[in-house]
Each structure stands twice: as C-alpha cells, then as structure tokens.
Amino acid sequence: MTPLRRLLHYFGRYRLTLAAGALCVLGSAVFSLAKPLIIGNAVNALSAAFHGRTLVRYGLLLVGAAAVEGLFLYLHRWIIIGASRKIEFEMRNDFYAHLQSLPLRYYQEQRTGDLMSRATNDLSSVRMLIGPAVMHAFSSLLVVTGAFIMMLRIDKQLALISLISVPIIAGLVKYFGQQIHVHFKSVQDYFGDISARVQENLAGVRVVRAFTQEENEIERFKRMNREFVERNRSLIRLTATFYPMLHAIIGMMFVLVFFLGSRKMIAGTMTIGSFVAFQFYLGRMIWPLIALGWVINLFQRGMASMLRLHEVWVVQPDVEESAFSEVMGLEGGSIEIRGLTFSYSVPAAVVDGNAVYEQHPAAGREVLRDIDLTVRHGETVGIVGRTGSGKSTLLALLTRTFEPPPGTIFIGGNPVEDIPLRQLRDIMGMVPQETFLFSESIAENIRFGRATASDDDVREAADVAGLGDDVTTFPQGLETLVGERGITLSGGQKQRTAIARALVRDPLILLLDDSLSAVDTATEERILRSLREIRKGRTVLVVSHRVSSVKDADQIIVLEEGAIVERGSHDALLARNGYYADLYRRQTLEEEIEEIA
C-alpha cells in the first residue's frame, strides 16, 4: 500500500462526514460569490437613482448572504476539521499498534527518538493535510471556478486577460511546492536525529556523568540545534520568497484590469456596477490562488510526513497472529523441539516504499542447529553455554518473539504456529535477560504481569522472588516509585522485580533467561529455594551462566555454537568431565576464593 492509498483508506472511513462537509463548503462558496453580484447591482441601482429603500434592500441582502455564508463556514470547519482530528486519532492508534507488533530486531536497528518524532510531529503534519489543506483546496477550487464564470458573464475579454497570471502562479506553486517538500522532509528527518540524541542522553545520563561528558554532549547538542535552525531557515527563505512573488504578480494583475476596465467605463461599454463586481470577483479568484500556495505547502509537508510514517508501516511483523481459534490441551505444558535450526535476517531500511532486507550480524551462520529436546510437564530444564551459543534465542523462539520454522516447536503437542499468540503467551511467564521496569511503583511493575492481581498476590510474588526484605527498607514499601527504567533500584532488585512480575501471572511455563546474574550467591540460594516450591506443577526452563542456578534441574543441556553438545543431570554431566564439569569446577573455585577473601 502506497502512502497515498493508505491516506485515502482513512478518508474512506469518513466519506459520509467529509461529503457533508463538502456540501457545506459548496454552500459557503455560493453565498460568497453572491455578494459581489449584490454589490454590483446595488451600485448600478443607486447610481441611477438614490433611494433609501433600495439601499436598505441591498444592505439586507448583503448581510443575509454574509450570515448564511458564515453559517456554512462554521459548519464545514466544524465537520471537516473534526473529521481530521478523528482520523488523526485513528492513525495514531494504528501507528502505535503497528509499533507494538514489530519484531525486536527492528528496534535494534532504529532510534527511539526518531520513532517518537514520527508518532508526534509527522502525524500532526498529516492531520493538517487531512483537515485544513483538503478543506481550503476544495473551497479555493469552487470559488476560483465560480468567480471566473461570473467574470466571463460580465466581460469575456477582461476575464481572459485575467487568466494571464494563472500559468505564472501555477509554475511558481509547482516549483516552490517541490522545494518545500524536500526541505521539510529534511527538517523532519533532522528533528528525528535531535530527538534520538536527547532520548539517548537522558536514558544514559549515568554514563554521561560517569565519564564527565556533560560539556561535550552540550556542545554536540548545540551543533545539532544550530544545524536544525539552519535547515528551518532554508525552509523559511523558500516560503518568504514564494508568498511575496505571488502578491506581486496578483497586484500587477489588479493594476492591469483596473486600467482596462476604466477605459471600458469611459467608452460606455461597461457600467460602474459591473466594473465593481468584476473587481470583487477578480479578488475572489486571485486570493484563493494565494491560499492555494499555502495549501500546497501543507500538502507537501503532509505527504513528506506521510512518507516517513509509511517507512514504518511498510515493515511487517516477523510473527503473524494465527488464524486458528484457541487450541485445547495446552494445560499439559509439555515442550517438544524437533530438529530446530534457526538463523536471523533483519529489515534494515525502506527505499521507495519497499522494505530492503540486510543480514543480521549473526546471520550467515545458524544460531541454532538441529536442536532436539523434550520437556515433560512439571520438569525443569537448565540451559548453559558460552555467550552467543543461542540460549536466549531458544527461549525467544518458544514465545514466538522470533518465528521458528514450522513444525519444529510443539507446546502440549500443538505446533506453536497454530496457537494464537495471545493464548501462547498467556500460559508463559518470561523473565528476559535485560530487565526493563516502567516509571511506576514496584507493585505496578509486578502487576504488569497480571493486571487483575490483588495486593496479596503482588506481595506473595515479591516474597518468592526474594524482594520482601528489600521492600521493608523502602519508604513506601511496594508503592515506592522506581523512576525511569527502575533507576532507583539496584541491578539485583530490578531482576527480582522482573521475576515477581513473571510469577504473579501464575504461568504454566516459566522461562528464566539468566535472571539471577545480578544477585549475590546468598540471595540466589534463597530465591532458588522459593522457586523449588513454585516449580512444582510447572514446566521451567532456566538459562544461566551459574551452575548453582541449574544444578537441581531434572535435565541440563549445554549449547555450543548453537548445537546441544552435552545433555543430562548435574551428576551425569560432572562425570562426563566436559564443558559443564569445567564450568562447575571454575565457579566452585571462585566461590571458595571469595569466602577466603
């Protein structure tokens, strides 16, 4: 779908409303064009013989026409501008929903500030196109056409002479319109760069201050801000040149018509009333052409912004919602992986409205190779391996964060691609490797896992996650605000909050992706003791670099370059004397050294 077709799609939703607005525009144009005719007839009648009744009659006609025109003006602005706000509301919702559906890999390639700029500034520019630009374009077209027809009725020669300015004005509008489009898109793109820079600095304020880079970042922002101002000045210079040139051409046309019309009046071929009416109609025809320049400006800005929005809309989700209804049998919670092989590719950019794909840094090699794994309901499986061996990717495929090859992963005996995403993820509790907390209280962050969770449920989940003792030291307990991204909490506290968020869901399948890496050994042991009780009746997959987190698992697998190289219980893997045994000995030695120190 092209940007224009997408825009017309939204217009189609409000076609009846917009049609009613168009009728009101037509009504205002008709009564606007009636006023010069009333004035011309009044001048002719009063110049022949002045009568008070005649003056009052034409005065009332003029006031009545103006009042009805004003009513139609109010109605078409209320209807069309109101519709544009509703379309903006729907577009913003659709755009946000689309952002929510895009794969994680897309966000790894994009800047948050730029996406925010598109969702705010660009959508506002599109709304100006939908409302004021469309309204004034239709109104100007009607008034210009109607005024020219009335001018032809008064004097064909003068009307045709008046058309001399139209090609010149059209040429100026075309040239400057194209330049405004290019310059405005450049301004919007750079505004996205500035937004991204500010967002990154605010999110990484600790790093900026830790390396005393405040002055450097301020100077960099000044340079970017200066460039942004220069790009805006370039755009302003275009518009500042455009409108005076239009006014000059139109002024010259008025002088020419006044000179020729005066000669016709002197010659007696045109009445003074007709000349006055002609001048008014000339104004009615010319000034909308000036407004048309402003409208073209809005169109170019709006379409430039629509193209930027389209660059996001054209990117399709990796994971499509299943067309199947909810499946039965998932309460078993068993997991089976058959011959799973997976590699990445990433949509990098959009060129001329088409998504261009480039390879992910991990692409070109298989991240996972020939994975076969069976996890019965209620079992706990530990997954260990070196960094980059594919542990987190395996969990992401289970949740369909990335789409696995068909027929490779089964939950409760059902292929995951046949399970609706909402149903699949409702039975899972996921604690990702990178902990993210919202700028809310600890309780609200935990309740994010299940909106209907009671205070007791939240408190219980926090206790099981080992957060209970910490909460008692917080000024407002679980209602303590954590700041943006949980900045007021330590790394371990953030991880435990994330664990509580997963546990409060009461999930059938619990996925822990190195979720205890930031806690000390004593806290880890306390959490693991609580989890042993919680794990009963659940299927649990634990990814960890620590042997202590997985040694009690029913089954442990070791990943190496995407393949399972070791499999078995803790004792069996120690007896095998491979990677797992070596990892266990090294970590045991490290713990002993820490105790001695």
- 361 with 214, same domain? no
Same domain, 159 and 31: yes
Q: What are 381-440's pLDDT values in tens digits?
A: 999 888 888 888 898 888 888 888 888 999 888 888 888 888 888 888 888 877 788 878
- Rounded-to-integer distance, Cα 493 and Cα 470, Å: 8
- List residues bridging with 336 in a β-sheet: 374, 410
| DSSP single-letter state for residue 558 | E
Of the residues 250, 279, 313, which one is the last residue of a structural domain?
Answer: 313
What residue has token string 């996921």? 430
Task: Assess whether 103 and 249 both reside in one domain.
Answer: yes
Q: Dihedrals φ, ψ of 90, to 5°?
A: -70, -40
Residue 333 CB neighbours (<10 A): 23
- The residue-averaged pLDDT of 257-263 equals 81
pLDDT digits (tens, 9 = 90+) for 204-238: 776 777 777 888 888 888 988 898 898 888 888 88
Residue after which a domain boundary falls, among 313, 346, 375: 313
Q: Which residue has the higher pLDDT, 365 or 502?
A: 502
User: 305 and 336 share a domain?
Assistant: no
Rg (CA), the chain: 35
- Please give the pLDDT value at position 352: 43
Closest CA to 411 of 322, 481, 291: 322
Convert the pLDDT of each residue in 345-377 to its tens digit: 644 444 444 444 444 545 556 889 999 999 988
Residue 243 and residue 301 in one domain: yes
Residue 566: CATH number of its domain: 3.40.50.300
Residue of 324, 321, 164, 333 lying closest to 255 (CA atoms): 164
Residue type, 396: A
pLDDT band at 72, cuts 50/70/90?
A: very high
Average pLDDT over residues 560-581: 88
pLDDT at residue number 24: 92
Q: Identify whether 378 is part of a domain.
A: yes
Q: Which pLDDT value is given to residue 68?
A: 92
Number of H helices, E strands in the chain: 21, 12
Average pLDDT over residues 519-523: 69
Give me the percent of the chain exceeding a pLDDT of 70: 90
Within a domain: residue 250? yes
The verdict on 301 and 368 lying in the same domain is: no
What distance in Å separates the CA atoms of residue 193 and residue 177, rounded to the nearest whole number? 24
202 lies in some domain: yes
Q: Are residues 560 and 521 in the same domain?
A: yes
One domain for residues 373 and 284: no
Cβ(290)–Cβ(244) below 8 Å: no
Average pLDDT over residues 41-45: 81
Q: Answer whether residue 440 is part of any domain.
A: no
Range of the domain at 231: 15-313
Q: Looking at the whole model, is its pTM more than 0.85?
A: no
Task: Label residue 71 by pLDDT band (50, 70, 90).
Answer: very high
The answer to whether residue 501 sits within a structural domain is no
Instruction: Answer yes or no: are the C-beta atoms of 343 and 366 closer than 8 Å.
Output: yes
- Average pLDDT of the chain to the nearest whole number: 81
How high is the pLDDT of residue 55? Answer: 80
CATH number of residue 143's parent domain = 1.20.1560.10
Task: Work out the average pLDDT over 551-568.
Answer: 88
**Distance of CA 586 to CAs 64, 525, 581, 592, Å?**
94, 18, 9, 10
Q: What is the pLDDT of residue 498?
A: 86
Q: Tell me: do 31 and 121 sit in the same domain.
A: yes
Q: Domain boundary residue among 279, 313, 347?
A: 313
Considering the domain boundaries, does residue 463 fall inside one?
Answer: no
Asked whether residue 48 carries a pLDDT value surpassing 80, the answer given is no
281, 401: one domain = no
- Predicted confidence (pLDDT) at residue 155 exceeds the cutoff of 80: yes
Give the per-residue pLDDT at 332: 67
Inside any domain, residue 8: no
How many other CB atoms are there within 10 angstroms of residue 317's CB atom? 14
Total number of domains constituting the chain: 2
Residue 94 lies in a domain: yes
Residue 441 predicted with pLDDT over 80? yes
Facing residues of 568 across strands? Answer: 556
Alpha-carbon torsion, ordered 261, 264, 268, 270, to 10 deg: -50
Q: Is the pLDDT of residue 597 over 80?
A: no
Q: Mean pLDDT throughout 516-542?
A: 74
Cα gap 127→134, rounded to integer Å: 10
Lowest mean pLDDT among 341-350, 511-520, 528-537: 341-350
Residue 23 has pLDDT above 90, yes or no: yes
Mean pLDDT of 273-296: 78
In a shared domain, residues 270 and 381 = no
HSE (CB half, 13 Å, CA atoms) of 28?
Answer: 21
Q: Is 248 exposed, middle or buried (0-12, 13-18, 19+ CB in 10 A)?
A: exposed
Residue 338 has what pLDDT?
A: 92
Query: With helix as H, strand as E and coil as C, how does 30-59 read?
Result: HHHHHHHHHHHHHHHHHHHCCCHHHHHHHH
Please answer whether residues 144 and 288 qualify as being in contact, where contact means their C-beta atoms are separated by less than 8 angstroms: yes
| Helix 521-534 vs helix 455-464: crossing angle, to nearest 10 | 130
Looking at the structure, tell me whether residues 371 and 397 fall in a common domain. Answer: yes
At 21, list the tokens: 């607005």
DSSP assignments along 93-135, one per residue? HHHHHHHHHS-HHHHHHS-HHHHHHIIIIIHHHHHHIIIIIHH
Count the neighbouring beta carbons within 10 Å of the beta carbon of residue 531: 23
For 107-151, the pLDDT digits (tens) are 777 777 778 878 888 888 888 888 888 888 888 888 888 888 888
